[in-house]
Structure 1
């Protein structure tokens, strides 16, 4: 997965790229991405499960692209070996908290409207068709007892109280009133192609983690950017769909996922500090 090896694979398959600039992006959990000349993205799975997920993602996108107004990737698969995908790059960069906080109100609202429409259109796709294409249930979070057992010794007192209440409330939470839907469930700023100059979202990518889950869970991931964005998206989605969403449920699920991610990162030297900060920030709101 080093740059020279990936460059060799790609130039063997596409000799016309021999004079191109290659940049690797290695932060992804499942794939290494190679950006070629800022116009093409090649994804190389890190392991067998990631390879299977890439194949399913390509199939799912054949149904998603014509159903949503939001630009999404058009993946072409190559069998290799190794197997990889290619798509035209969606122009834009990640949208992080500091970027969102600098946006004027009208740009924030336009972003919220675009995201709400994307979710409304995505949730309208026939679930049986998506299941036939390979969509499955979301990966479950850790068991409540496991979360508390792992995070309790490392949390300060105030955050322990928050964790106890959040996990207890989660265990008592009734089923989602809108049931299970096919959704993206990964709508944070690292999966956005945002044009910072034009202050506009140009597209969304990485559907490998999409699947069937509780409707309200769809809306928690923009809290990674800013709760103000989530609030705007929820209001726009309600206006589009006529559904009344439970904001307290969305907040609770956000906190539980933060705790679950921290519990999973206990022995992860690379990501532990980031996950701890996320719990501390959310629990102190």
Structure 2
């Protein structure tokens, strides 16, 4: 029996009305496998930790969905076994760097404003309520600990920039806007973007959302484009009246790339990708 046959059998045990629907594998990540059938997405966790994250995501989305304007998944859990979730697919595709480069000015402005509004709504959610639903603190660890694992994996040319970021991060005072509940995963792989209409249709994958410093929310859009981050920051400031520190965001962006490298430093398959990610950031980052 193939993988898709196993997933189809599990889905049909819970939803026999889909017996005549075509099934296809959508994507596989470290945490889960996604299957699509009849406009529905089914997500299967690949290990116990991922199962816990899926349950947490469903509980968080039950609070988030009524509070935000952008569509987000309406996760329904099927206990199985195996455990999996079901939600109506939000139409749209990933927004990658090449896609963003082709967007006209108006589409870029609208995207930044839509994201800014989404973040502003999320950040108004009560932290205690989100913690009760399963939100956990974001924690990268110390600059020393991250550097110990990340620096040896970098080329000699990249190490000076990494050392500057680590030193700057180590000197950062607490976030002036404190802790919020945030998405903390706002890159283009979690966007349902309508490339025909050049509009953002929705956001998904809330497993990495949690409680953390407000400025950290604005680092992930750099995976799409630094231009998107700059527009997003300005739109958020205009909408909320909160002034944001662009230097702090730059430092956190570089640190996030180093943290990812440190997390995967013992995985030779993924280290080159993480090194390349940091190099791309260095090439586009303003001085900090």
- In 1, the alpha carbon distance for the partners of 2:111 and 2:71 equals 14
Q: CA-to-partner distance for each residue in 1:150-195, whole Å, 9 max, x for gaps?
A: 3333423331111111001101100000011001000001100000
Deviation at 1:2, TM superposition (A): 1.9
Deviation at 1:142, TM superposition (A): 4.4
Please name the residue that 1:147 is paired with: 146
Higher deviation after alignment, 175-184 or 28-37: 28-37
**2:153·2:271 contact (CA, 8 Å) conserved in 1?**
no
1:1-285 matches, cutoff 5 A: 2-37=3-38, 39-138=39-138, 140-285=139-284
Q: What is the aligned residue count?
A: 283
Alignment partner of 2:216: what SS?
helix
- In 1, the alpha carbon distance for the partners of 2:15 and 2:75 equals 16
TM-score of the two chains, using structure 2 as the length reference: 0.94
Higher deviation after alignment, 232-241 or 126-135: 126-135
Alignment partner of 2:192: what SS?
strand
- In 2, the alpha carbon distance for the partners of 1:136 and 1:237 equals 24
Deviation at 1:145, TM superposition (A): 2.3
**2:116·2:232 contact (CA, 8 Å) conserved in 1?**
yes
Shift in CA distance, 269/153, structure 1 to aligned 2, threshold 3 Å: closer
Higher deviation after alignment, 67-76 or 22-31: 22-31
Deviation at 1:196, TM superposition (A): 0.6
Deviation at 1:58, TM superposition (A): 1.0
- In 1, the alpha carbon distance for the partners of 2:225 and 2:28 equals 22
- In 2, the alpha carbon distance for the partners of 1:270 and 1:156 equals 17
TM-score of the two chains, using structure 1 as the length reference: 0.95
- In 2, the alpha carbon distance for the partners of 1:268 and 1:190 equals 22
- In 2, the alpha carbon distance for the partners of 1:265 and 1:119 equals 29
Structure 2 stretches lacking a partner, 5+ long? none
Deviation at 1:56, TM superposition (A): 1.6
Higher deviation after alignment, 6-15 or 150-159: 150-159
Q: Where has structure 1 moved over 4 Å in runs of 4 or more?
A: none
- In 2, the alpha carbon distance for the partners of 1:125 and 1:154 equals 39
Shift in CA distance, 25/143, structure 1 to aligned 2, threshold 3 Å: farther
Structure 1 stretches lacking a partner, 5+ long? none
- In 2, the alpha carbon distance for the partners of 1:30 and 1:142 equals 22
Could you say what the CA RMSD is over the residues aligned between the two structures, in angstroms? Answer: 1.4
- In 2, the alpha carbon distance for the partners of 1:211 and 1:57 equals 10
**2:14·2:78 contact (CA, 8 Å) conserved in 1?**
no
